[in-house]
A and B are shown apart, each in its own frame.
Chain A
Amino acid sequence: MKPGERARVVGIRAGRGLVERLSAMGITPGVMIRFVRGSQRGPVIVDLRGGRVILGRGMAERIEVEQQGERTREA
């Protein structure tokens, strides 16, 4: 994803522990996120539910998003 783009979270490929941590930060399937910034190999910053969250690279790659009907991994 590029800065400023929006996408909908469609899935999280992670164990229960990570899923619950992400849920607590507001990341659940169905939520709209906006990519703020981040590089290809480092952590990323996203906007969601009126707040802002930093995701480590490993975490970001487990989140599947859908952009204009197109399914991709985060970032």
Chain B
Amino acid sequence: MKPDAALRIALAGNPNSGKSTIFNALTGEHQHIGNYPGVTVERKEGWFSDAGVRVVVVDLPGTYTLAAHSEDEKVARDYLVHEHPDVVVDVVDASNLERSLYLATELIELGLPLVLVFNKSDLAEAAGYEIDIAKLSGLLGVPIVPAVATKGRGIEELRRVALETARTHRLPQRRVKYGEPLDADLDLLEKKLQGGGQGGISERWLAVKLLEGDEDTRAFLEKQRAAEILRETDHIAARLRRNYRDGPEVLIAERRYGFISGACQDAVRVSVERRHNFSDQVDAVMTHPVLGIPIFLGMMFLLFKMTFLIGDWPVTRLESLFGMLAGFIGRHWPLGEGMLKSLVLDGVIGGVGNVVVFLPNIMLLFLGISILEDSGYMARGAFVMDRLMHRMGLHGRSFIPLLIGFGCSVPAIMATRSIEGRRERLTTMFVVPLVSCSARLAVYTLIIPAFFSGRWQAPVLWVLYLIGIGFAVVLARLLRRTILRGESTEFVMELPPYRLPTLRGALFHAWRRGWYFLKKAGTLILGVSVVMWVLSAYPRPSRPQEDNPQSQGARVEQSYIGRIGHALEPVLRPMGFDWRIGTALTGAFVAKEVFIAQLGVVFAVGEYGSSAVALRRQLRDNYSPLVAVCILLFILISMPCMATVAVMRAESGSWGWALFQLGGLTLLAYGVTTVVYQVGSFLGLGT
């Protein structure tokens, strides 16, 4: 073996098995996260080095099976079948052994070197399981390493056994026994498959998948022109169905569990019968039909407060830090006044600031989510909320992203990760921007007092929020009935026992999410920021001007953004908007609150902050209340900001969805606002 030849370990296992903790323990800081092309599934890779050999660890998505019905399962299976890792490590939850070994029975058949890690062995012990590792390892025909990943126990041993298994290419020594008549049928299919040139995939695996009725395997064999085998399969399946009432896939699953419990009967003893006791008592309250919902809402309130209230402090610190940085560089700028200085100060530093301000919220949110998830509460929350969310055509887990959307769409879209089905996930991501974020609130609080008397201000604000939520619900249902139609991913999930989350794990998760955001969305946001800056700063007036609000206003009108505003005017007219609003809306693509700053500049009252009162007066003098309502509506519905677009692209895995969302929501806003303005004008409200 060449000294630098890389070995590849694929990490498989159920969700909740502690797979991520094992992954972190194996690879430490050496990690890389991305997306599998075209899907919303996260791809995690890391490495460690063993005596000069680079060992790459691929963390496959957590799955219960390789049936390939969900995106996660497809990704995991395709990786194993097509990329042939040197060894597969299956992380098994030792405290929930029988169920966790189901995936192992599938992996045994794959024909790749396999090692099982019995993670959480301390919990298994505490629950009264005595597992005879050597015996079980013999019965299953694969090496087993007991471990407690949260305490780092068993990791070195796992490294050693996995590498040894990889280097000796030690395949599983036992077959999963299905009993009669399945074994005979499978043997027959297997023999017929032999020598068909299946490129390293074990014939046993193909035979089992074929009999299970797996579409991918069938398609694969159709391409191989194995018509005879397919006929034989159909024949066997029909006979089984006749004789057993159930389809072959049910029989196979049943026998797999039979094989598992047979092995466990010999090698596992249960000494005490007292599992779930503590969890049961807590659950009696947490999932209580009446108390459950207020508890859930309380948890969510805390999560929201933690994300945005605590997050506020670092956000303002970061903002002033970037202000100071720009000031410092400005004072010590060596190259004289000019374009470059302005590009660096306003374009680049401002742009980096635009990216970094999202970090505290994202990291705090994922810190909170991670704690809720690891403690086991999240599954209870999904149980409590499922009915309500179901009526919206969404998943029980859509609640958190929508709630976080009130703070900011960017972390909200990132939080859709935990939603299982791709359709539900895309639907949730799509409607998140309709929930008014805090940047929109800044616009509302400028405009509403300008046009509505004190008594009406709060109700108008409430109505705006409700309109947003209403649109989100309607649009979600619409999407689920049209382009994202399909049976909702029927809700089946594991209810893990409660456990104490580790701070280290939660911090790690938060950090990783933040880093992922910087890498995947950060560069794009920075790029667009610079472009937007150029649009608003150019072309420059030929002769220097005094720096007063009036000349600033004139300059903006002359800039590209101002010209875009002018050019858009005919299009915006039906909504009652003029070029000034058009200019401000264009600028608001950077971030919704920029709308205010831009308006301030075009109305020549200077930047927002010192002059909100003056700006409100200008608005009142220039626009009718009807136009104000239209502005509010348009800001509410239209055009997610560039950070949302960037993160949508990163999370959906395609530009298509990001642009569809951008265009779709803007068109919707255009339609709604136009109708409101036209009807309003017709009724004489426009004056």
- By a CB distance below 8 angstroms, the chain B residues around A16 are 212-213, 247, 249
Decide if B494 is an interface residue (CB 8 Å cutoff).
yes
Decide if B246 is an interface residue (CB 8 Å cutoff).
yes
Contact of A20 among B96, B245, B249, B387 (CB under 8 A): B249
Rounded to whole angstroms, the CA-CA distance of A36 and B538 in the bound complex is 67
Closest Cβ of chain A: how far from B219's Cβ, in Å? 15
> Which A residues form the contact surface with B (CB < 8 A)?
11-12, 16-26, 28-31, 36-37, 39, 41-43, 45, 47, 49-59
Decide if B444 is an interface residue (CB 8 Å cutoff).
no
23 A-B pairs with C-beta separation under 8 A: A16-B212, A18-B490, A19-B247, A20-B65, A20-B249, A21-B67, A21-B69, A21-B492, A23-B102, A23-B254, A26-B98, A37-B283, A42-B386, A43-B386, A43-B491, A47-B276, A49-B98, A50-B99, A50-B275, A51-B98, A52-B497, A54-B495, A55-B492
Decide if B390 is an interface residue (CB 8 Å cutoff).
yes
- By a CB distance below 8 angstroms, the chain A residues around B515 are none
- By a CB distance below 8 angstroms, the chain A residues around B276 are 47, 52
Interface residues of B in 464-504 (CB under 8 A from A): 488, 490-497
Q: Which 6 A-B pairs have the closest CB atoms?
A: A56-B491, A23-B253, A24-B64, A24-B65, A52-B495, A20-B67
Contact of B65 among A23, A43, A53 (CB under 8 A): A23
Rounded to whole angstroms, the CA-CA distance of A57 and B250 in the bound complex is 21
The SS class assigned to the A binding surface is mixed
- By a CB distance below 8 angstroms, the chain B residues around A49 are 98-99, 257
Nearest A residue to B494 via CB reads: A53
A21 touching B490 by the CB < 8 A rule?
yes
B99 touching A26 by the CB < 8 A rule?
yes
Nearest A residue to B65 via CB reads: A24
> Which B residues form the contact surface with A (CB < 8 A)?
63-65, 67, 69, 96-99, 102-103, 212-213, 245-247, 249-250, 253-254, 256-257, 275-276, 283, 287, 289, 379, 382-383, 386-387, 390, 396, 488, 490-497
A43 touching B289 by the CB < 8 A rule?
no
A30 touching B98 by the CB < 8 A rule?
no
A23 touching B249 by the CB < 8 A rule?
yes
Closest Cβ of chain A: how far from B301's Cβ, in Å? 22
| Contact A59:B386 (CB < 8 A) given known A26-B99, A49-B98, A50-B97 | no
B494 touching A51 by the CB < 8 A rule?
yes
Rounded to whole angstroms, the CA-CA distance of A23 and B208 in the bound complex is 15
Rounded to whole angstroms, the CA-CA distance of A58 and B387 in the bound complex is 11
Closest Cβ of chain A: how far from B218's Cβ, in Å? 12
A56 touching B253 by the CB < 8 A rule?
no
B257 touching A53 by the CB < 8 A rule?
no
- By a CB distance below 8 angstroms, the chain A residues around B493 are 53-54
Nearest B residue to A59 via CB reads: B490
- By a CB distance below 8 angstroms, the chain A residues around B496 are 52
